Amino acid sequence: MSVVSLLHSKASIPEELQKNEACLPLYYEHLNTPPKVSVCGLDFFYGEHQALLDNDIDIAPNKVTAIIGPSGCGKSTHLRVYNRIFELYKDQKAKGKVLLDGENIFSSKINILELRRKVGMIFQKPTPFPMSVFENVAYGLKLHYAISKSEISIKVEEALRRAALWDEVKDMLSKPGMALSGGQQQRLCVARAIAVEPEVLLMDEPTSAIDPVATLKIEELIDSLKQKFTIVIVTHNMQQAARISDFTAFFYKGKIVEFDKTKKIFTNPAQKKTEEYITGRFG
């Protein structure tokens, strides 16, 4: 276990929770519910190069967990394991366990399409598909649900409302998704992702390509979304992590140096490296 000094041994996990296989005892100091996602001993390889070393982390349900760290430290790589999207690339390999509700996502019993419905992803750049605003949101619905046209319309509106986009696009649902502004496009992607009713939302630097006002809207959106979803967000922006997250993990060179409540990380980090990073001495 790499995360370390602040952690006790596994023995200190309350016995009734041990079977949920949370990786980190730390987790139970803060919450009494089993983790939504629990990562144990995760290694990751790009060909020969090892990008993640023995990552352990527990993601709390209905909370925002931020992943911070300097460029190239493995933040995005770590996130891309949760929905097994890295498997699109033949030279990328992951070892270790990632438990979603206690079930290993690498198990052969897991249906990858269902896993990706449960674990939605938002990318750095907005990625509207080449179709209308409506079709964009309906895309995943049509993939995963056998529902009628009228039900689709209801779900699309619901998702757009939840993504705080409905009022801006309700008169242009048939316009191409790419005709929206950058910030709107990103909220469209959020709407598309939440329309299929996922349980976890992965956000890979969702605001790095959009302007400050749009960023603010996304941050407000994240805050409202956590009531329904578990959110893991990779961010470059430490203020953002401090503003929106409940837990923060600090990554450095593929290792999780420190993982704790956001408040603790930003006010009283246990590790020297963490302190150096959040005070801007490197990175």
Residues that bind another protein (CB under 8 A): 83, 85, 88, 90, 112-117, 120-121, 123-125, 127-132, 139-140, 143-144, 175-179, 189, 192-193, 196
Q: Which two tokens stand for residue 43?
A: 């290694």
On whether the CB atoms of residues 200 and 36 are closer than 8 A, the answer is yes
- The C-alpha atoms of residue 218 and residue 210 are separated, in whole angstroms, by 10
In angstroms, give the least distance from the CB of 208 to another protein: 12
- Smallest distance from another protein to CB 162, Å: 17
User: In whole angstroms, how close is the CB of 114 to another protein at the nearest point?
Assistant: 7
Give the nearer residue to another protein in terms of CB position, either 113 or 154. Answer: 113
Nearer to another protein, 106 or 139 (CB): 139
User: Smaller CB distance to another protein: residue 68 or 85?
Assistant: 85
Q: Which is nearer to another protein, 129 or 166 (CB)?
A: 129
CB atoms within 10 A of CB 234: 26
Q: Minimum distance between the CB of residue 5 and another protein, rounded to whole angstroms?
A: 36
- Beta carbons of 59 and 248 less than 8 angstroms apart: no
Between residues 4 and 115, which has the closer beta carbon with respect to another protein? Answer: 115
In the complex, what is the shortest distance from the CB of residue 111 to another protein, in angstroms, rounded to a whole number? Answer: 9
Residue 145's contacts (CB-CB under 8 Å, 6 or more residues apart) are 196
Name 231's bridge partners.
64, 201
Contact 139, 192 (CB under 8 A): yes
Are the C-beta atoms of residues 191 and 159 closer than 8 Å to each other?
yes
Q: Which is nearer to another protein, 9 or 174 (CB)?
A: 174
In whole angstroms, how close is the CB of 202 to another protein at the nearest point?
Answer: 8
Structure tokens at 131: 């179709």
C-alpha–C-alpha distance, residues 267 and 111, integer Å: 42
Q: Among candidates 154, 153, 218, which has minimal Cα distance to 181?
A: 218
